Structure 1
Amino acid sequence: MDMRECEVIAPNFKKRLSGVTSTIIQLVPVQSRALGIAVLGPGLPASLPRLRLSQLPGLWRAPRGRMVRVWHARRNVEMLPGIVMRDLLRMPLKLVFTSASQRRHTAYTKWLIGRMDAVVATSARTGSYLDGAHEVILHGIDTQRFHPAPDKAAAKAALGLPAEQKIVGCFGRVRRQKGTDLFVDAMIALLPARPGWTAIVAGRATGPHESFEAGLRRRVAEAGLAERILFVGEHTNIPPWYRALDLFVAPQRWEGFGLTPLEAMASGVPVVAADVGAFSEIIVTGSGETGIIVPAGQADAMARAAGALMDEDGRRIAAGANARAHVAARFSIENEARALEAVYRRLMGGSPASGRTPSSSATRL
């Protein structure tokens, strides 16, 4: 990207794919419709507008039509370079930090956050762990990429899943923090009495978590359910797997935000989720139900909630339709992009870079 057109930089200084990286990958193409935005760092698709490290000296000059540009960090390792460039090298930058963490910050992290020009929390619960002023902007989802299947049976068959079975799924890295064992235990309790259901675990176990997955597979085999609780591995093209589901379970013990319930609901799939991350802020219970929230770490409670939706077809189907409508109305990625754009424009001042038209006023979620 031409530095004169670059108004916002989204650094990504972590090679391995993570939720933060996924957020950047999904957001930047939408943001680029109204802003001169570029990514910087490894582990990102070549299709994204990007800067090279050799272009960083260009940060001493503000972009065309602006007094400053924005450096939007999402990790400590990205906040620190922004502080150095703004305060020591005197580059015309404003610093934004998005926090997804739901734990007390270390003194070092508090020091970094205290030097930001604006702070965004991804949920109200996340915001409760921040000491200073902040704005809550919930994540959004690409509702065109994640959408209901026009033919559920065909969606299952295309993935090699039994088209005649109802499918309940749990997606994400296979590890204790993600609660994969809680899902497996719940399915071992539920499936013997529900022959019309099959469960799938989609995700990868890495390093020390490989033995954890091996132990889960042994428990499934010992229960005689190896043909009905399937470990399907990691998939880069995940939307078709959501479209094959009839029910999604998010069993995490801890989560910063957690996009998987939104991805499932956008696909017309109701959700049973642990009360972690932003799940209680995005899932509707009661009237207009889109799913059920259960206490974190309790396999029995999860099994009861999942069993209720598995056994009541009308309730489950209605919750899936409600889920799609809810996400489309409140959690589109365009809403998130507009809300962030409002933060950027407030900090940058001036008129937009040449050739760009500001989008409509930002939406605060």
Structure 2
Amino acid sequence: MMDCDFLVVGHGIAGATLAYVLRQRGHRVQVYDPGQANSASNVAAGLMNPVAGKRFALSWRAAELLPFAAAFYRELEQRFDQPFFNESPIFKLFGSVEEQNAVLARSADQPWAGFVAELTTTDPGLAGVHAPFGGAWLRGGGHVAVRELLAALAAEGTREGWLQPEGFDWSKLTTDDAGATYAGQVRARHVVCCEGAAAVRNPYFSWLPLTPNQGEVLDVECAGLSPAQVLNRGAYVVPLGGGRFRVGATYRWPPFAEGPTAVGREELAARLTVITDLPFAVLGQRAGVRPAVRDRRPLLGPHPTAPALSFCGGYGSKGVMLAPRLAVLLADWLAGRAELWPDVSLHRYNALRPVGVI
């Protein structure tokens, strides 16, 4: 029987960052992941945005999470000698004079912790961009090549033997006070569920208030559109190089379609035409299901009655920004070196677990 310190189920952005942190600390880690190309992490554009939504709200813990994530991805770039993180300005377009005035009024209170570099009420003249009302220049964000990052980590895991490219059958897991045993083959001190939206079917964690939603993205070619920044108005437009851009994302609630849809394609194309008048060609389209949470905060921590099990996920659309810092937080908690933050701890939802559920 194989012995390990931690068994991590799932190798999306949550599981991959956690497994990396644990391995860097010298722990023996085994990861199970079926390698789904349409997972939320593989579909995502990897945007890290400090100010989000029509309300121009500062993202939760942005001042801590963004620089931490940037340093983390830079470390992985050095490890694999491969570019993953592009620190890029974000230009958030105003859609009307009313929106322009509302943001300018809020700016007097300095609500964005220095992440807004400049507000402009006139068109900045970006190539191919239709911005008659100006917008806000955001700093401190950027985008991560998530698919390429996960592929590099998975290749390392396959080569070194710590990644098992297969699904995980929770019915074959048994736990006791000293740890857990899986399928009579693996003995682990602790098991961490990082399954993303699939956790709604997990027999140990299905009671958590996960509210999965489906998102679609387009890859387009648009010659002449400025590639020097991320654009955002109703949709994000992330430069991929060579005149290519990723446009996203839609939000759909269950029941979900099987894969990309014509409706999603039309919606994203329409949003892009608001940002640019230039012609574009759609090169590809993908769909994935995000693991969102009712209160829009992640979920970390131990199962209420099975101390050898923990949960890590519920990152929604902000996984790239959240994952590095929360991986370190959970690793510190597992080592007895830190307390989980109350606003991410599973304990806030323990009352939802029905009596008699494992």
TM-score range normalised by the length of the shorter chain: 0.3 to 0.5
Q: How high is the TM-score relative to the length of structure 1? A: 0.32
The structure richer in strand per residue is 2
State the structure with bigger RCO (CA 8 A, min sep 6), 1 or 2. 2
The structure richer in helix per residue is 1
Q: How high is the TM-score relative to the length of structure 2? A: 0.32
